[in-house]
Amino acid sequence: MGYSTGIVADRRYMNHDPGFGHPESPGRLAAVYDMLDEAYMKQRFVRIEPRKALVEELSRIHRHAYIDRVAATAGRMYSALDFDTIASPDSYDAALLAAGGLMNAVDKVMEGAVRNAFAFVRPPGHHAETTSSGGFCIFNNVAVAAAHARERYGLGRVLIADWDLHHGNGTQHSFYGDPGVLYFSTHQYPFYPGTGSAGELGIGPGEGYTVNVPLQRGQGDAEYLKIFKKILEPVATAYRPELVLVSAGFDICRGDALGGMDVTEQGFVNLTRVLMNIADRWCGGRLVFTLEGGYNHSMMARSARAMLLEMSGETLTGEAELAEIMERADKKTDTLVRKISEQLRPFWPV
């Protein structure tokens, strides 16, 4: 039986243009949008119109002075927000639409208009801190969306899973002392931005609600799946999220220009299925993905296509298939799982 799956896709996101040769280029979305326009895909999903985030919504995560700094770039040819995040004349509007588009996707899922959704937006967000940009990110879309869901719907438990190649420092710091958001991240380490060690677990009432799984380069489908099944799944079972948000970075894919991982289209489907199972079990299937990194355009489009078909029920990856894939994981993964589990045991039954 199929599910109703929503997508956010708007050509205005491509108006954010960091300049010739920049990895975070409009071509990333062009490849995905071309895939969405294929005859087989075009009518299968519910289109969710984006909107511009309000300053008061952004200010739940970002300081007003930083929002004003980004707003001041509007209409200017090129403005360097940091050494690798460049704003063009329309970047501020695109960034408002990225955060607002993801919030609209959350609203549609929370209201039951769709079961799950994927926001294909840019600029990405998970490196953006309270007072600064970073790593191609301007506003922290997923953090703003989590804050929006809590404010508007009174949610007490939001899970954010982040499989981007790079650690989502901004997302982690947004909720580091807050048990209302559980942040789970797999990422290549040590690598940009340098955060995300296994010992970063949160502080105060938020201790234990940050779960980092630092990885060496070269990890593939089986290794990622085992980590999600053996670490995230039991933690999520104990946490019982009311909404699942995902920072979906495709820079862990095989052949990514900036990455060193080896995840295939099927690997992304596997992780999607684990997250769908968590959402189905605890929160009526409420699951929303947002685009983060990914610089192999064709691979990103193919992987996003495979994920959407799984999300909509067109394909169905079963537990037996997942178990078979996990058996292929490098034995070093078991050592890593044991290490992370030992650190988490004071907080979670892993």
Complete edge-to-edge strand list for the sheet that includes strand 243-248: 46-47, 5-8, 116-119, 287-291, 243-248, 158-162, 181-188, 210-215
Task: Answer for the pair 73, 79: CB distance below 8 angstroms, yes or no.
Answer: yes
118's CB contacts (< 8 A; 6+ apart) are 5, 6, 7, 8, 105, 248, 288, 289, 290, 291, 304, 307, 308, 311
Is residue 127 part of the annotated active site? The answer reads yes
Contacts of 235 (CB under 8 A, 6+ apart): 182, 184, 211, 344, 348, 350
What is the chain's length?
350
C-beta neighbour count of 313 within 10 angstroms:
15
Which of 127, 148, 187, 297 is an active site residue? 127
**Which positions are annotated as active-site residues?**
127
